[in-house]
Amino acid sequence: MKTNDAMPAPLTAGVPNPAGAPSSLVICGDYREHDFEHWPRPSELDLARLAAQLARSENIDPKQLVAVAWELYRESCHRLQIDHREVTAYHAQMDRVETELDDAAVVLPQWVPAPKKYPVTHQQVERLLLPQQKGRTAERAGLIREYFFAQLTRAVWWCDRNSAS
Amino acid sequence: MVRPKLSILNYWEMDRDVLEELRHKMKDNVTRRFEEYRKTVFDAEAYARFAVSFLEWRRRFIAAKKASAARTRWAKEEEKRQAAATAAAKAHAASQKRNKKSLGDG
């Protein structure tokens, strides 16, 4: 499909790529991160079908219909690229949050009871951290499980369907 | 553009219903993690990481529990207060009605 003559400026022109690196250095298999030239094209038949769907009467100029269909396709690409960038940014934000949470202090503070020697088993850990629950195995297990659940839900994507932006 | 709003929430900010739904969905993950924990032998760094994180979480967990209990208690007391106020208003209205009636009879 020879469309290069009529090809408008790339969609990403003047816009930094999501990673923020110079576009010439980015090697990425995802076409949504590349300029418009690298996006998949509709076939002649696809375009003709889309143009035919736009025809309200037989008198409309086919050239005009195809031009509108082509614009629709381009605008759809544009929208997908914006969406891809937003989703990538969300994922980057999520990764930052996870990294911050994982970089916890590794030095034992004074307020934490220290074992006499290392390594320690989980029973010894529980005796040190939960002295009030001594002998209450089920209660201790319940607390630890709740803690793990809290860890797993420390950063959850929440989709609020009531508020669309 | 119509897109549902996405935000990052955590354990402390979620509604009880959402939390319960997640608890149900993540049951297997929690079990797996718990089993891993029971097999773990903690060296100094692993212990420090776990102990700090766990005790901080527990402190907040206890505070949240206390706050929740206080809210429930307050709500119950408020309900009682409202019920008492309604009963008093009704009793007052009834006594006024009686007074009017006795004045009318007299």
- Dihedral sign for Cα B92, B95, B101, B103, please: negative
Domain end call among A85, A104, A123: A104
A104, A126, A146 - which closes a domain: A104
Selecting from B4, B23, B52 the residue whose C-beta is nearest the C-beta of A161 gives B4
Q: Which A residues, 5 through 34, put their C-beta within 8 Å of a C-beta on chain B?
A: none
Q: Splitting chain A (165 residues) into consecutive groups of 10 residues, what average pLDDT does each group show?
A: 41 45 55 82 92 84 92 92 88 80 71 91 92 85 93 75 52
* Residues A114 and A65 grouped into a single domain: no
When the pLDDT of each residue in chain B is averaged and rounded to a whole number, the result is 87
Same domain, A89 and A126: no
Query: What is the tens place of the pLDDT at every residue in B64-89?
Result: 889 888 988 999 999 999 999 999 99
* pLDDT value, residue A135: 76
In a shared domain, residues A117 and A144: yes
For residues A73 and A19, membership in a common domain is answered with yes
CB A103 within 8 A of CB B49: no
Same domain, A84 and A97: yes
The CA-atom distances, in angstroms, between B72 and each of B16, B66, B68, B82, B84 are 14, 10, 6, 15, 18
For residue B80, the tally of other CB atoms under 10 A from its CB is: 10
To the question of pTM greater than 0.90 for the whole model, the response is: no
Looking at the fold, whether A144 and A118 belong to one and the same domain comes out as yes
User: E-assigned strands of chain B?
Assistant: 4-9
Shared domain for A6 and A43, answered yes or no, is yes
One domain, residues A119 and A99: no
Quick one: DSSP state of residue A37?
Answer: G
Task: Give which of B59, B33, B14 is closest to A151, Cα–Cα.
Answer: B33
Question: Which of A55, A74, A104 delimits the end of a domain?
Answer: A104
- How far is residue B23 from each of residues A54, A94, B79, measured CA to CA in Å? 49, 21, 31
Please tell me whether residues A113 and A100 are part of one structural domain.
no
Answer yes or no: is pLDDT of B39 > 90: yes
Nearest to B51 among A86, A112, A119 (CB): A112
Nearest CA in chain B to A142: B34
A62 and A8 in a single domain? The answer is yes
Which structural domain, as residue segments, surrounds residue A53? Answer: 1-104
Rounded Cα distance between A144 and A148, Å, is 6
Domain count, chain A: 2
Residues A81 and A150 reside in one and the same domain: no
Residue from the list A82, A125, A141 with its beta carbon closest to the beta carbon of B47: A125
Q: Best interface-test mutation with A: which of B2, B3, B10 has the largest number of A CBs within 10 A? A: B10
